């Protein structure tokens, strides 16, 4: 019996390998959020139903593919894996449980920049969060970094680059930002849209129309891309005239929800204007890099998440609703449940509260819910 780290499971997701998961969490937790993979099979049997042994499920656990036992924090899956091993089965358990799965970040190179630099995407596979590093001539900028700050600091150290700027496209409500912490650790400038920062308790650089930030030889152009709708301050960036970082306004298969500050009715017109007018003025050839993905099908062959803007205008339903009333209905009536602890997460990102690490983990458990269904 071996412990399988999240990194190894992520490779199986990226490679679309056949894989069997025995998830021993409660049914409601499993239905709300699970490890997703294109060729994965699942069996959900709560741990408490297996306290008397695993004999009754042996015929449901395959012998011709890898089997992974999963629980919330690891303990229960270790015990079930031991019972299966005693019954003659070869299985692994998820190291650190779903808690570790929620925190794993996998860096993927998205492409090269004109000056010899590169764009990297950090895929938070268990939560659907996407963050970015723009690297150019010994310098780096981070966009929408998560609270797992060591991953970004180690990444920069490995590449031998200095983090000069850290951006958040908006005040996040589904996960805790690592932007401010990274800026404090590196001396980098921390940028936040001022319209999202009315209640923040710390100093920041105002991210607004007219900003042009240079990383090495690469331009990050924020000019005329103030795109409200998900939040009132939501801001998009064009990097190197090639990449459009859309934050939570536009996803591959959906559009951003406008209600996480309780303003759905107020902000729906902004959302439509951002998507249907401002984005329409941009080149179809821009590669859209969103701050989230919703389903595993949105991953490309290499595990990255991206698509050309022109393709999204052709295929994304949220960009093809001519009738304004119908658009309003879509984004105000088709909303999934609010993200777990989203109000506390917003207050943490404002600097109003400072939960300890364990509390932050609990606040973030579960899927992201930033898109309209």
Q: Are residues 120 and 92 in the same domain?
A: no
Number of domains in the chain: 2
Reduce the DSSP state of residue 339 to 3 states and report it.
coil
Tell which of 72, 100, 128 closes a domain: 100
Q: What is the per-residue pLDDT for 339? A: 66
CA nearest neighbour of 191 among 217, 212, 162: 212
Indicate if 71 belongs to the active site.
Answer: yes
Q: Are residues 294 and 281 in the same domain?
A: yes
Q: Is the pLDDT of residue 15 over 60?
A: yes
- Which domain, by its residues, includes 67? 2-100
**Strand intervals (E) in the chain:** 2-4, 19-23, 40-44, 67-70, 92-94, 106-112, 118-124, 129-136, 139-143, 162-167, 189-192, 205-206, 212-215, 218-221, 237-239, 243-247, 287-290, 307-308
* Cβ atoms of residues 313 and 319 within 8 Å: yes
Q: What is the per-residue pLDDT for 271? A: 85
Which of 22, 71, 133, 173 is flagged as catalytic? 71
* CATH code for the domain in which residue 71 is found: 3.40.250.10
Average pLDDT score, the chain: 91
pLDDT band of 333, cuts 50, 70, 90: confident
Residue 365, in any domain of the structure: no
| Angle between the N-to-C axes of helices 149-159 and 179-186, in degrees from 0 to 180, rounded to the nearest 10 | 40
> pLDDT, tens digit, for every residue of 355-370?
999 999 989 888 777 7
If you average pLDDT over residues 120-127, what whole number do you get? Answer: 96
Q: What is the per-residue pLDDT for 258? A: 72
Q: Are residues 82 and 25 in the same domain?
A: yes
Q: Are residues 146 and 268 in the same domain?
A: yes
Dist. CA 135–CA 173, nearest whole Å? 27
Residue 188's CB: how many other CB atoms inside 10 A?
Answer: 22
Q: Are residues 223 and 75 in the same domain?
A: no
> pLDDT, tens digit, for every residue of 171-186?
998 899 999 999 999 9
Q: Are residues 195 and 175 in the same domain?
A: yes
Q: Are residues 28 and 116 in the same domain?
A: no
Q: Are residues 131 and 13 in the same domain?
A: no
| Cβ neighbourhood burial of 107 (10 Å; 0-12, 13-18, 19+) | middle
Q: What is the per-residue pLDDT for 33? A: 93
Residue 264, in any domain of the structure: yes
> pLDDT, tens digit, for every residue of 196-221?
899 999 999 998 877 888 888 888 87
Alpha-helix runs per DSSP H in the chain: 6-14, 27-32, 75-86, 97-103, 149-159, 179-186, 264-273, 309-315, 324-333, 342-350, 357-364
Greater model confidence, 248 or 335: 248
Q: What pTM, to 2 d.p., does this model score?
A: 0.93
| Cβ neighbourhood burial of 277 (10 Å; 0-12, 13-18, 19+) | exposed
Q: Are residues 266 and 152 in the same domain?
A: yes
């Amino acid at each position: 019996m071996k412990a399988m780290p999240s990194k190894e499971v992520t490779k199986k997701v990226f490679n679309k390998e056949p894989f069997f998961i025995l998830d021993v969490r409660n049914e409601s937790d499993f239905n709300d959020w699970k490890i997703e993979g294109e060729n994965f099979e699942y069996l959900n049997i709560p741990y408490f139903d297996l306290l008397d042994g695993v004999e009754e499920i042996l015929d449901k656990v395959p012998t011709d593919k890898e089997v992974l036992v999963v629980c919330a924090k690891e303990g229960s899956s270790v015990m079930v894996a031991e019972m299966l091993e005693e019954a003659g089965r070869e299985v692994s358990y998820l190291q650190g449980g779903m808690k570790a799965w929620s925190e794993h970040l996998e860096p993927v190179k998205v492409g090269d920049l004109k000056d010899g630099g590169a764009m990297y995407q950090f895929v938070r596979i268990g939560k659907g969060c996407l963050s970015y590093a723009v690297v150019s001539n010994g310098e780096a900028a981070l966009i929408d970094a998560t609270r797992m700050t060591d991953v970004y600091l180690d990444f920069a150290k490995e590449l031998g680059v200095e983090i000069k700027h850290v951006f958040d496209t908006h005040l996040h409500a589904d996960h805790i930002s690592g932007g401010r912490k990274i800026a404090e650790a590196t001396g980098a400038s921390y940028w936040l849209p001022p319209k999202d920062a009315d209640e923040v308790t710390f100093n920041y650089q105002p991210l607004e129309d007219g900003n042009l930030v240079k990383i090495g030889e690469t331009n990050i152009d924020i000019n005329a891309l103030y795109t409200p709708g998900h939040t009132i301050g939501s801001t998009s960036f064009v990097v190197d005239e090639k990449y459009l970082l859309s934050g939570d306004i536009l996803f591959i298969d959906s559009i951003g929800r406008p209600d996480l500050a309780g303003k759905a009715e107020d902000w729906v017109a902004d959302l439509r204007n951002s998507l249907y007018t401002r984005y329409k003025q941009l080149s179809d050839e821009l590669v859209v890099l969103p701050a989230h993905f919703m389903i595993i099908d949105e991953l490309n062959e290499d595990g990255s998440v991206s698509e050309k803007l022109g393709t999204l205008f052709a295929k994304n339903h949220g960009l093809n609703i001519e009738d304004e009333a119908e658009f309003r209905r879509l984004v105000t009536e088709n909303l999934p449940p609010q993200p777990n602890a989203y109000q506390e997460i917003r207050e943490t990102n404002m600097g109003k509260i400072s939960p300890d690490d364990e509390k932050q983990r609990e606040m973030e458990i579960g899927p992201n819910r930033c898109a309209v269904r």
